[in-house]
Structure 1
Amino acid sequence: MAPTRERILDATAELFRRYGYTGTGLKQVVAAANAPFGSLYHHFPGGKQQLGAEVVHRAGHMYQKLVESVFDSGADAVEGTANVFSGAAEVLKATDYADACPIATVALEVASTDDTLRQATAEVFESWIQGATTRFADAGVPEARARELAILLVAALEGAFVLDRAMRGTEALRVAGAAAATAVEAALAG
């Protein structure tokens, strides 16, 4: 069995993906983590806000590695971009539209009300943008345009997740993926 702190982080990430930050209670977290309630404040003395910020950073890092591995599996940046969107659509369908990005879920909920969590989500989004910028620049896109493409990729992916989760389909991911791949292709063509 994983250490208590890890179980709490894992359980919280899963609950955030499904129910969001405000829809996740601390009693739910400890029950899902099979942990005593007191252990929550032992490991996270700042309470739910500290736990939330750590989960956002941890999940953000994990999702970045996942997306980068899918992107890198493509023959080039165009195929890699398309693969990211098609892979996201497969996961969304396979989880009955419940397993979307916890970073976007938390950002939508708390960006106006909790600066600690807003900052945590902003840092994650920036790390994703930097990672994609590097990949596009390495593929031959000029640096300034590479950052624009990276922002487009993250914004289109996150927006499509929201639409598809609400509409219980994958049309938005398909359309956004095709548009993003076309933008990458055009940038590479110069």
Structure 2
Amino acid sequence: MAIFSIWIISRAGGLIYQHDYNLPKVEVEKTFSYPLDLVLKVYDEKVVVAFGQRDGIKVGHTVLSINGQPVEGRFCRDEADVKKDVLEFLNTESNYPMNIKFGRPKLSTNEKIMLAGMFHSLYAIASQLSPQLHSSGIQLLETDTFKLHAFQTLTGIKFVVVTDPKRTSEDLLLKRLYEIYADFALKNPFYSIDMPIR
């Protein structure tokens, strides 16, 4: 029963703090012959599986390495250490057979900032949709693979914890995080509210 990540979101929807814990490494390495039976596309400067799930390789996984050489965004290196476009390299028949490692993509800093803003907006929408005045917004989202627990302080700062679906309540953890944040923010003369925590 794990805690996957903790997020602190400012009053304006900016990301103050985010840390991932215990993310499972989903990596699959297979040897392929020509032609590649997966449809790949470039999305956000990463080569992503767009169609053709099989053998643990799922839609949305990114290409992590080719023949043991790590993939850097859309580019890989061949045997002569020459930088090549991944899609061009995979479409060349003479490069086969090849080992390709696929895995779950890691979120970039920009994607984390965007997700924090989206959650802030969803929280505000949920508060407005409530038939009761002064709704507390989203407190718990449940899926089959995780639970998202949220707590908004009186000043509007949101604390979000993503956990294993078997965990029940994180109210004490969220309030303890708020206490630690309040001690840090109020006792540090060099910290201004809504400033990111490094």
More helix by share: 1
Q: TM-score, normalised by structure 2?
A: 0.27
Q: TM-score, normalised by structure 1?
A: 0.28
More strand by share: 2
